[in-house]
Structure 1
Amino acid sequence: MTQNISRADIFEEAEVFVFPASFAQQRLWFFDRLAPENPFYNVSIAVRLTGALNLTALEQTFNEIVRRHETLRTTFVMVEGQLMQAIAPSLTIPLTAIDLRNLSETERETKVEHLASLEAQKPFNLTAGSLLRVTLLQLTETENILLLNLHHK
């Protein structure tokens, strides 16, 4: 359900910047409304990381990327019947870690494929939250798979 709000409501929010959506963004919004809960515009990648990994530093790194890039802090709202970009002044994304270390190698690989597929198919909510999701699959003490899922807006 699309929430229609007024300009006054937007500007009462502290430091939220609101701009008209581009034609390309309007097209993506239309398709998202036409076929809700679809993963058509998900851009997913799995990266194998080898070596010691500092989870806190990894999460801080992605949050620094989000801090530096407004597009990753952008959601969409209808304002007086017009689609607008709402850019949050800050946003913290969680790094979800899933421990698969207790599984056998065969079970781990099967689980990795299953979880990567699920994440790639999980739709984004364009009106709330982040348009980037980060999941770490822990295989061994020095082997990890990083799943990145980004909405192509």
Structure 2
Amino acid sequence: MTATGSSVFAVPLFGKLADRIGRGPVLMGGAIFTALYIGPYFLLLGTRQPVLIIIAMAVAYGVGQSAMLGSQSAFLSELFETRYRFTAIATSREINVMLLGGTTPFIATALVQAAGGSPWLVIVFAVVCQVLTIAAVLMSRRLPQPAPVAA
């Protein structure tokens, strides 16, 4: 509840930041933070101390996830022309969610088991996912931008 509560306040703030400095930098910032924080996150979880676990979750949700969620919708909307936007966003988001979002708990469980109970393979998996996010944001800058729609 504390972790989700941190997002309630942080997502709109990161959205406002994305409006000021750009969606890409905020999205990449969230991905970079998550890639750097995942190791310390698991160290905090490993303490088995409820207060430290709550702090670990609140920071993960309040910074990493909130930065990405606060900028992602506008970022994706700006990638596609209006006539293709809904289909393009739905396809790109939902295929990703189908392949990784729904299966991540199973992947993480298998990776922990493969690593003999250690989370190091899950950390590598999470970092690879964040690197892919960063690469996608960087590649999107090379795409032609849609023409502005006359109001």
**Same topology, TM > 0.5:** no
Greater Rg by CA: 1
- The structure with more helix, counted as a fraction of residues: 2
TM-score (norm 2): 0.29
- The structure with more strand, counted as a fraction of residues: 1
